[in-house]
Structure 1
């Protein structure tokens, strides 16, 4: 038994300011001759039924990827949780998977493994990837019903993903390869990861 891919959509979160990378749009920085966000899209495309990108600038460039582009409903680059909110408002299927744009080598079985706990526990609202006992909160899978609680959390000024989901039924899914979740925050880190990959 498994969750149908048609019941899962994914959002690539590329709506940040890229402040640690000099304010540039991180999702459009090249990694091995292709934008980081495009790497995420290529890794996700076979894992879910549909995909979208959350971006708050360079919309036309992202539209060139051939999938829907959605913007935050919150002002002032409110963080990845605002991107998740925007995606949930657009989603028409039961499950949403979220990944950041700056982790080009995340696992190719990410969605399958995040899906498994939902099959065993119908009360679960969210699963989150974990490595070495530490949650990777931007890599998660959630039921669409979490939207009202998320919006209430954002209205009250909440921004941290793990603080939000700590109040709903959730489960961590352990992944052994910690390097697969390595994100790039600087141009130096980007070049170093290119050398290793």
Structure 2
């Protein structure tokens, strides 16, 4: 992977919809060359977000009390909550570079970050003719630990990844995550018996060659 420095923004817990408004502002600034490529790291209060093609039968029961918000990213249903590290990537792609190419790069960088934390992980190849199988899975247990959903507008990416660090995994069972009925979502804490958000943030920033 080539060197691609990113300016890093770090926040703690930010409500999803205000975060989307701020992300739109960041994308506009990048399109106008008013800011460098940016990685915004944060977490959200409990919320399910859905892509435009998420089937209604994949949604959680409303009685669970967790809001469901439609979003503009690719992918299907994802859960966000405390203890999860969300990374929004506002990056200007090179000429001829597509969003799928960049998503695959993001997967590799997160595999690298998780490896530094002592958790071997992998991305998965997509069978020919199938929809892109995005995300990161643990090698030993085969569980999914990272969800990825992105989009591109006028050459600049938005949205990004959700890495489960030490949050509650129960809400993932209330819906069909990522369009995969049989997926078993996991976290760093579940796999290693321990987790540190600060260490995870540091490993992710190093993997994305951030500065700030």
**TM-score using structure 2 length:** 0.30
Larger relative helix fraction: 1
**TM-score using structure 1 length:** 0.31
